[in-house]
Structure 1
Amino acid sequence: MNPMRAFLAAALLAASLAGCARKDPPPKPAEADASSSPATAAAKPAAAASQGSGAILFLSADTRGYLGPCGCSENMRGGIARAAAQVQSARKGSLPVLYVDGGNSLFGEQRLKPGQVPQEERKAKALADAMRHMGLAVRATGPLDDTQGVDFRKGLGLPELAPGAVKLLPAGERKVGVVAATTAAQLAEASAQARAQGADFVVGLLDVTLDVAQQAVEQPGLKADVVVATRTATEFSGEENRLVRSAVPVVALQSKGRSLLRVDLAYAPQAGPFALQKGQDDLEREAAALEQRTALLDKDINLPGTDPKLKALKQGKRDELVARRQALLDAPPVTSDGVNAFTLRFVPLESSLPSDAEAVALVSAYDADVGKMNLAWAKAHGQDCLPPAPGRAAFVGNEPCRTCHEDAFPVWKKSKHHLAWETLEQVGKQFHLNCVGCHVTGWEQPGGVCRLDKVAGREDVGCESCHGPGSEHADAPGTHNIIASPGESVCVTCHNPENSPHFDFATYLPRIVGPGHGKP
């Protein structure tokens, strides 16, 4: 057996032994959430088995104002509480742990409507509090951090790194230099300064997209060991983790707080340059294969109408695969004697991973506050939607449809569309502006509803969500005045990559049609 396969076998054995060791007394309440999953249990023997000296870095970037996933689909990745659990778990080991943020994290867009301001500012403050709880060492900034102005950003009190600046962080026996930049030339100059100031390992935080970052690392004079591209081009362009292996590796994280980057540093007895560990190919292939199997199970689990027993079995298998993958990620890297080495590993924040209790409390406080704030703002400042243009239909709600289409309603009531508003109420998010639009009918459309305090009668994804405003059809029924045909273009306005990552129109459509509703 070659050394890498032996290492993989040892890592998986450690995960199995960790599962057996759970007969120990239960953890203290403050640690219960970070100690309850097989994946986290596997991290403990891995940390204890670590030999030699080194450090662990966790990096986030392009979080875009996300405290957690929307929850519209099952097994969604992400969440600051899961990220915090990963960092805090690593700190239980013997190696120093640093947490760094690459920026573009506080807001999701650069311009806010007046009604969005209370919610988005409160969310940014909750993110800042969570980062402090995680022991944030330093962060770069980007345009999405300055949505509410520089003064607001600075008022959050986070340790920041200006473009072109250098920050040296103690990391056990070595120093890690973090540099921020917006151009290739600035990155090269700042990385050289970091080396001159005594940095042993240099991380470049470059506020550009991955493609631009790949060009930047080809510039002469660059002294960084790894460069993180901290910005995605569009809201939905950061759907995958990306690692480009070049002379200086370039990383782009999955956006919206869905993954962390973990950098493991292993120190040789003497200081010197760091080499990206080449012997982890088998490890990466094994982890990638487990992730692919997990993704296939996710599609089955999210398929409408899946038998509950079968769904539970598939969910159990999925959780097992996530635990096995996490055990590989948490295992200590293998290094050659006498060489300073590092590994780069993505940590997808899967739904079955633990959450940090204090971070959960911060998110819960935000959820409670923002609903009250948004409802109060709507009552004080909200404005009704504009009426439809002359000759255009208005929204009338489901009841006028029932008069002629009573046989369609049983089909609708069996679908999740019928429970759209209830799902928000169950988690206390019925007054969250980034949720409500896909859970009511006619949100912010002419003749629809534009105020959180006037949603009554428009709850759920009703007939007009798919078929368009129905006042003219209700007054004079006929095929000529049905505004919209429920094609794929209508569905993907809500069933987008973020809210419904496994959506497939041809697969989902037959699940919501029936006699009187799409079938003869």
Structure 2
Amino acid sequence: MRAFVLAVLVGALLSGCRRQESRPQEGASPTPQATSPTPAASPPGAVLFISADTRGYLGPCGCSENMRGGIGRAAFQVQEARKGGQPVLYVDGGNSLFGETHLKPDQVPQEERKAKALADAFRTMGLAVRATGELDDTRGADFRRSLGLPEVASGGVKLLDAGARKVAVVAAASGEALVQASQQARAQGADFVVGLLDQPLEAAQAAAALPGLAANLVVATHSAGEFTAEENRLVRSDVPVVAVQSKGRSLLRVDLTYAAQKGPFALQRSQGDVDREVAALEQRIALLDKDINLPGVDPKLKALKQGKRDELSARKQDFLTAPPAPATDVNGFALRFLPLESNLASAKDTQALVTAYDVDVGKLNLAWAKEHGQDCPLPAKGQAGFVGSAACADCHAEATTVWEGSKHHHAWETLEAVGKQHHLNCIGCHVTGWQQPGGVCRLDKVAGREDVGCESCHGPGSKHVDAPSPETIVGKPGQAVCVTCHNPENSPHFDFATYLPRILAPGHGRPVKSGQAGEPPAK
């Protein structure tokens, strides 16, 4: 009997070991494709993907590791879900084609080309319908319509087939209009109604509480400002309200499960367990991201942390894309945000559109600069102008050596490496004195101003060159100077106290000790 029990215990332990071995090894980078839904496990229903407030972003912008976003990654999620056998509908909430309502003349070629690339990408994702907002009409309604995308007008209804049910997408700019459109959708036979409200989250919450609203879900499609939609938000109420992280960094996935009979849809309460698991994983991922982005981190340690981060991200993706448990007695829906993490794959056809855009827009911008570009205005009388880092080297040899060993000195190279040295969205933080009096205002006249030079931090140097003294230059620039580029979008892990010592050294902000270069040894 003891032998039998021992055999059972050993068998259980070995079975447990085999289960552990089936997981990705710690430190290994999992294959993103492995996170796609399992077709055989999909219950009767449909999948909706919703994007909104993309603000003209084809991909993440910034210098940090592991940045979210990218239309290619979004397309991959949609295309993979279509392999599951369920109807899949992709809906865009609008405010996606442009990032601002007014463009300067030199921005027009780039931004129009980008909007066209986004429209083509939407087509590769099988866009069913989209709403429109003010950030879609930056170049006018005629330009928007010329893109040929399927649209639902504000106050309108679009009825879509979702297998055994009908899904309605309604668009509105006010709560009252949303109520009316949702009621029209029900009258047209909609089983599930998605309301796209061209307002921030707070206004969408108020709309969801209005009497007579017949929507199952309200999506706030227009954040209040450029940096006000940094996180995904879900407000649980009788009618759930969501705001998707802006700039194409996340998708909303809505899984519909169908009961045998038609009837009202209920938000699945079992989703809470998944939410808690995902939240815990995201906290661990955020801590790893902070460590990975520390300046000067040991490369081997960084690689280990990156491997662990990718493992956790893959585990999170498994939770988010697994089919929900079927609701046998009710029609249900589950809401999940899909952050488009850096380790996820991109759809090849969609990513090819982004690559073509990168090539085209550089040529367009450079051609425009040569034909229409104007030099920066001269500094006002008595104000300093930019002279370039080379003018600083003769008197500040030690500081120049420190700068040459920093990432600031290679800022221009990082753009050239990815073919974005002529992109207007990027260049301002990779040259010195961009769009400033006495600086550089033309893409075809960057020579001598490449990189984040001395004057990027210490201010224009012409007066200091003419009369060297502490009064004619910014000796110790503060955090306010750094965050013009190291902002929450481009450098979300930036911490002034942590980063500053990485650019200081003897001869550049740190006293030279006796015996070091630049100071004779003590006698």
Smaller-chain TM-score range? over 0.9
Q: Give the match for residue 48 of structure 1.
A: 40
Which structure has the greater CA radius of gyration? 2
1:265-304 matched pairs, under 5 angstroms: 265-304=256-295
- Give the superposition deviation at 1:172: 0.5
Q: Which residue of 2 aligns with 1:69?
A: 60
Q: Deviations over 1:377-413 (max 9, x none)?
A: 0000000000000011000011111111111122212
Stretch moving more, 334-343 or 448-457: 334-343
CA distance in 2, matches of 1:99, 1:180: 15
Offset of residue 322 of structure 1: 0.5
User: Residues 201 and 18 from structure 1, CA distance in 2 versus in 1: closer, same or farther, beyond 3 angstroms?
Assistant: farther
Shift of 1:54: 0.1
Equivalent residues in 2 for 1:105-504, closer than 5 Å: 105-483=96-474, 485-504=476-495
| Contact map agreement 1:209 1:230 (CA 8 A) in 2 | yes
1:141 is matched by which residue type in structure 2?
T
Task: Please tell me whether the aligned partners of residues 418 and 462 of structure 1 are also in contact (alpha carbons under 8 angstroms).
Answer: yes
Supply the AA of the counterpart residue of 1:163: S
Q: Secondary structure at the match of 1:167?
A: strand
Going from structure 1 to structure 2, the CA distance change for 1:14 and 1:160 (only over 3 Å counts) comes to farther
Kept in 2: contact 1:19–1:42 (CA 8 A): no
CA deviation profile, 1:441-461 (whole Å, cap 9, x unmatched): 000000000000000000000
Q: CA deviation at 1:336?
A: 3.5
Instruction: Provide the rounded CA distance (Å) in 1 between the counterparts of 2:32 and 2:109.
Output: 37
Q: Could you give the per-residue CA deviations for residues 144-201 of structure 1, whole angstroms, max 9, x where no partner exists? A: 0000000000000000110110001000000001000001110000000101101000
SS in 2 for 1:99: strand
Kindly indicate whether the alpha-carbon contact (under 8 Å) linking 2:155 and 2:172 is maintained by their aligned counterparts in 1.
yes
User: TM-score, with normalisation over the residues of structure 2?
Assistant: 0.92
* Cα deviation, residue 48, structure 1: 2.5
Report percent identity of matched pairs.
Answer: 72
For residue 50 of structure 1, report the CA deviation from its aligned partner.
2.0
Partner letter of residue 516 of structure 1? G
- Partner SS state of residue 160, structure 1: coil
Q: Which whole-Å CA distance do the structure 1 matches of 2:462 and 2:218 have between them? A: 56
In structure 2, what residue type is equivalent to 1:206? L
Query: Is residue 18–residue 41 contact of structure 1 (8 Å, CA) maintained in 2?
Result: no
* TM-score normalized with structure 1 length: 0.92
Q: Does the CA-based 8 Å contact 1:58-1:262 persist in structure 2?
A: yes
State the alpha-carbon separation in 1 of the partners of residues 40 and 343 from structure 2.
Answer: 23
Shift of 1:15: 11
Checking the alignment, whether the CA contact within 8 Å between 1:119 and 1:370 is kept in structure 2 is yes
Per-residue deviation, residues 341-370 of structure 1 (Å, max 9, x unmatched): 000000000000000000110000000000
1:422-456 CA distances to partner (integer Å, 9 max, x unpaired)? 00000000000000000000000000000000000
**Equivalent pair of 2:62/2:489 in contact (CA under 8 Å):** no
Q: Which SS does the other structure have where 1:92 is aligned?
A: helix
- 8 Å CA contact retained: 2:388, 2:453: yes
CA contact (8 A) 1:37 1:353 kept: no
Alpha-carbon distance between aligned partners in 1 of 2:174 and 2:231, rounded to the nearest angstrom: 24
Distance in 1 (CA, whole Å) between partners of 2:351 and 2:32 is 19
Q: Is the 8 A contact 2:46 2:87 kept in 1?
A: yes
Structure 1, unmatched stretches of 5+, are 1-12, 21-35
State the Cα distance separating 1:485 from its structure 2 match. Answer: 3.8
Which amino acid in 2 is paired with 1:346? F
Bigger CA drift: 479-488 or 60-69?
A: 479-488
For the aligned residues, what is the CA RMSD?
1.5
State whether residues 19 and 38 of structure 1, in contact with CA within 8 Å, keep that contact through their aligned partners in structure 2: no
What is the CA–CA distance in structure 1 between the aligned matches of 2:257 and 2:276, rounded to whole Å?
22
Deviation at residue 420 of structure 1 after TM alignment: 0.3
Query: How much does 1:14 deviate?
Result: 10
Counterpart residue type for residue 88 of structure 1: Q
Q: Give, in whole Å, the separation in 2 of the partners of 1:104 and 1:355.
A: 23
* Structure 1 residue 40: Cα displacement: 2.6
Task: Tell me, in whole angstroms, the C-alpha distance in 1 between the residues paired with 2:127 and 2:476.
Answer: 50
Partner amino acid for 2:75?
A
- Return closer, same or farther for 1:293/1:373 CA change in 2, 3 Å cut-off: same
Which deviates further from its counterpart, 481-490 or 379-388? 481-490
CA shift in 2, pair 1:465/1:15, >3 Å? farther
Give me the whole-angstrom Cα distance separating, in 2, the residues matched to 1:477 and 1:133.
59
Q: Is the 8 A contact 1:182 1:207 kept in 2?
A: yes
Match for residue 514 of structure 2?
A: none
Amino acid at match of 1:49: A
State whether residues 100 and 137 of structure 1, in contact with CA within 8 Å, keep that contact through their aligned partners in structure 2: yes
CA drift at 1:70: 1.8
Deviating more after overlay: 444-453 vs 287-296? 287-296
Q: Deviations over 1:218-269 (max 9, x none)?
A: 1110000000000011101110000000110000010000000000000000
Partner SS state of residue 83, structure 2:
coil
Aligned equivalents of 1:340 and 1:484: distance in 2? 66
* C-alpha contact 2:412 2:430 (8 A) present in aligned 1: yes
* Structure 1 residue ranges, 4+ long, deviating more than 6 angstroms after superposition: 13-16
Question: In structure 1, what is the Cα distance between the partners aligned to 2:433 and 2:77?
Answer: 41
AA aligned to 2:284 is R
Structure 1 446/14 Cα, relative in aligned 2: closer, same or farther at 3 Å? farther
Q: Quick one: distance in 1 between partners of 2:263 and 2:60?
A: 41
CA contact (8 A) 2:72 2:348 kept: yes
